[in-house]
Structure 1
């Protein structure tokens, strides 16, 4: 297949490809339209090299639409996985920040954190432990049998309680230091 012929195919299928992308790509991923279109045409090029060029132009546009649609789904799935990993990493970072003992500028030891986790009421404990295990909000919601919003709320409340435990300990340490001096 020549470059000129492939340019003709791109020109003839451009409307179908962009229509599929507009219909199937999430608006949150609008920045990726060019990437999805490029992947679509790469897949088409490879397939055309293997199978040859069909004679029917209308069939070619339909085929291009299907490839673009599938590429949208593929891209969204890949982005979703990346987002889940980023969310889990952010939760771990936030947990480290919440459990940082500001008066000593050191991180709490694991035993202390585990003690605080045991002090949490059950729905909050299971939610925050799931995050510590690296599970996503969706996975936790499914395993606990509650909506994602409920899981987020429980995590927020658990974090607030952990902060209260830390602040209480800091107050106790400050009082002990004052009594000694």
Structure 2
């Protein structure tokens, strides 16, 4: 017996228009721009196939971020190895200026992107979700399925990594 879909094709088209940009930008920051389009397409397919499993226990955006992060994590593990440093493609990520009010030029953004891509995926996920996507610690905790204390720790370590990276380049 086929399960009834909560979302029909028109609803899904509206959903895609509303969320594709956020999904794509999150994928860019977690797996790199070159792979983000493919990974974000996988995310949209997973959402469409599993929308009837959404129970409403969390917000829809939290559920979407969880699928996005998990899909990026899965891609990362398969393509580059879980703890290996990513090769930075020429088309580097664009970092939103919310990560630090002092970021005023593209060159500094490029170096922050390099720092993000060089750090391990767990710290990167937390930093991207907090400092770029603007999620609260509680939302990140639900998305990553880890305690709030762990979220705060990963963010602090990630920010410290970026700071040291920039200090080594004598940019801070």
- Work out which of the two has the higher radius of gyration on C-alpha atoms and give 1 or 2: 1
TM-score of the superposed pair, with normalisation by structure 1: 0.36
**Which structure has more RCO (C-alpha within 8 Å, separation ≥ 6)?**
2
Which has a greater percent of helix?
1
